[in-house]
Amino acid sequence: MARQQPIELFMPPNMLKAKAGGGFGGVDMNAIKRAEAAMETLKGDFSGMAADGITALSAAREAYAAKADPGSRAALLRTAHDIKGQAATYDFPLMGRVAGSLTKMLGEAPQGTLLPTGSRWR
Amino acid sequence: MSDYRFERLKILVVDDNAHMRKLVVTILQAFGVVHIFEAASGEATWESLREHNPDIIILDWVMEGMSGIELMKMIRANPASPNPFVPVIMLTGHTSLDHVMQARDAGINEFIAKPVSVKTMMSRLSSIIEHPRPYVRTTVYFGPCRRRRQDEHRGPERRSAAKEAAE
């Protein structure tokens, strides 16, 4: 019996190519160098970013310790996940690993699992 | 040199983390992108889509409220979507294959796993411009074709329609 599953496949016009042009196959190395230099400059701001992240993580931990529910757990996970991504991007691997482990625990432990909170973290 | 006219493109950066938005915006500006819009939530993204009609969206996955995946599905499938075809690059700290497949099934065009790298960002932008994928509409999915490779099938034909065509 033939399956009745309509599938429509189509190619929209490439408006991006029409707008952005280019396409000689290579990469604009000047643009890459400019962006890498700009990123290096931002690395100087990482201590501020890290401080903001740790403040947010502490607040999320306090909220979870006060009331452990799916909402407070999700907020804690989001904060740890943000720190993980930023630390890896700005070359702070240890911080990235710690935040990554916390993200993994919060993401994988079944809901309702008793997670370490409050004084045990201090 | 690729010499893209990035100044002609409008790019929307969606992330609830202001530091990460600043990083992506800084990279895009260095590439020459001038028209950059920012949104910190799903609701703000929807509004920006209506108002600015961006050419490309760079989307975070983990956000407070509506997640990037939920937003992606809404952009593709909601009848009120201002542009269901808009190319989306998902930028996320999620790196597992399962997450990549979830993002693909939600309708993203490209995927960048953190740490963010300038070369990867350029490569994904270039890929969207140079190698757009066809779009697929089925009863359960709308978005870029999820097949990356077109492998020739070497075994016996098992699909009824193709069998009938061959006979």
Q: Is residue B158 part of a domain?
A: no
For residue A12, whether the previous peptide bond is cis, meaning omega lies within 30 degrees of 0, is: no
A/B interface, count of CB pairs below 8 Å: 149
Residue B162 inside a domain? The answer is no
Residues near A117 by Cβ (< 8 Å), separated by ≥ 6?
A61, A64, A65, A68
State how many domains chain B has: 1
Rounded Cα distance, A73 and A83, in Å: 16
A14 part of contact set with chain B, CB < 8 Å: yes
- Give the confidence band of B1 by pLDDT, cuts at 50, 70, 90: very low
Task: Determine, yes or no, domain membership for A76.
Answer: yes
Residues from chain B that touch A14, judged by Cβ atoms under 8 A, are 129, 132
Structural domain contains residue A77: yes
Q: A39 in a domain, yes or no?
A: no
- The verdict on residue A37 lying in a domain is no
Q: Is residue B111 part of a domain?
A: yes
Domain that holds residue A78: 68-108
**Each residue's pLDDT tens digit in chain A (122 positions)?**
555 568 899 999 899 999 998 766 667 889 999 999 999 998 888 888 888 889 999 999 999 989 888 899 999 999 999 999 989 888 888 999 999 999 999 988 887 777 776 555 44
3-state helix, strand, coil in chain B (%, to 5): 40, 20, 40
Between B84 and A118, residue with greater pLDDT: B84
CATH of the domain at B34: 3.40.50.2300
Residue of B nearest to A107 (CA): B94
Would you say residue A102 lies in a domain? Answer: yes
Is A92 contained in some domain? yes
B6 in reach of chain A (CB within 8 A): yes
Percentages (nearest 5) of helix, strand, coil residues in chain A: 65, 0, 30
B31 belongs to a structural domain: yes
Chain A nearest-CA distance from B164, in A, is 10
Residues of chain A found within 8 Å of residue B9, distances taken between Cβ atoms: 16, 19-20
Out of B16, B114, B160, closest to residue A88 by CB: B114
Tell me, what's the ipTM?
0.83
Would you say residue B133 lies in a domain?
yes
DSSP state of B16: S
Q: What are B28-72's pLDDT values in tens digits?
A: 999 999 999 999 999 999 999 999 999 999 999 999 999 999 999
Does A53 reside within a domain? no
Is A27 within 8 Å of chain B by CB?
yes
Separation between Cα atoms, residue B59 and residue B12, nearest integer Å = 8
Q: Is B104 exposed, middle or buried (0-12, 13-18, 19+ CB in 10 A)?
A: middle
Interface test mutation site (partner A, options B11, B12, B17, max chain A beta carbons within 10 A): B17
| Containing structural domain, residue B95 | 6-149
Number of domains into which chain A is organized: 1
**Is residue B77 domain-resident?**
yes
**What burial class does residue A21 get, using C-beta atoms within 10 Å of its C-beta: 0-12 exposed, 13-18 middle, 19+ buried?**
middle
Q: Which residue in A6, A27, A82 is closest to B2 by CB distance?
A: A27
Out of B17, B26, B122, the one facing A31 most closely (by C-beta) is: B122
Q: Is residue B60 part of a domain?
A: yes
Q: Select from B22, B87, B161 the Cβ nearest to the Cβ of A2.
A: B161
* Residue A7 resides in a domain: no
In this structure, is residue B139 part of a structural domain?
Answer: yes
